[in-house]
Amino acid sequence: MVGLIVASHGHLAKELINSSYLIFGKQEKVVAVAFEPAEDLQTLKDNYQTTLQAFSQTDQILFLCDLYGGNPMLAATAFVKQDPKRFAAIGGVNLALLLEAYALRESGATLAELTKQLVQIGQSAIATAEPEGDLWK
C-alpha cells in the first residue's frame, strides 16, 4: 500500500486527515507534516526525513501538498528527484483528493497509477453548482 504524507502550510494537513477519517474511517500509512512560519526549506526536508521513519524502506510514498510550487511541494520534489520510483508529489490537495487517494490505494494502485489518476481526478473535481445540474436532483 502506498504511504501518504499530507503536507501543508500550517495545520491544514492534519485537519484534512482528521476530516477524512470522519468520512472514510481511520487509515494506515497516512501522516501529516506542517510547515511552520519560523521554518525554512531545509527544516521541512529534515521533517520529511524524520516522518519517513514511520514507513517501511520498501514503501512507496506519495506527498500530497497544499500548493503546487509552495515550500511543502518544493521540499517533496527533492525526494522525488532522488528516487522517482519510490516518491511522487502532487500539489493542490483537498479533502476530495485525499479520499480518492484512500480508495485508489485500497484498489492496489501502484504509485505511478495513483499519481496519474489523482491528477486527472483533481483537475475535474472542482465544479460549480448549477440549477440544472445533477446536484439539485
Residues forming the active site:
9
Residue 30 C-alpha cell reads as 497516512
CA dist 102 → 76, 77, 90, 98 (Å):
20, 22, 15, 6
Pick from 89, 96, 86, 2: nearest CA to 44 = 89
7, β-bridge pairs:
33, 65
The answer to whether 61 and 94 are in contact (CB under 8 A) is no
Residue 49 C-alpha cell reads as 526525513
Residue 88 CA to residue 77 CA, distance in Å, equals: 8
Pick from 121, 4, 101: nearest CA to 54 = 4
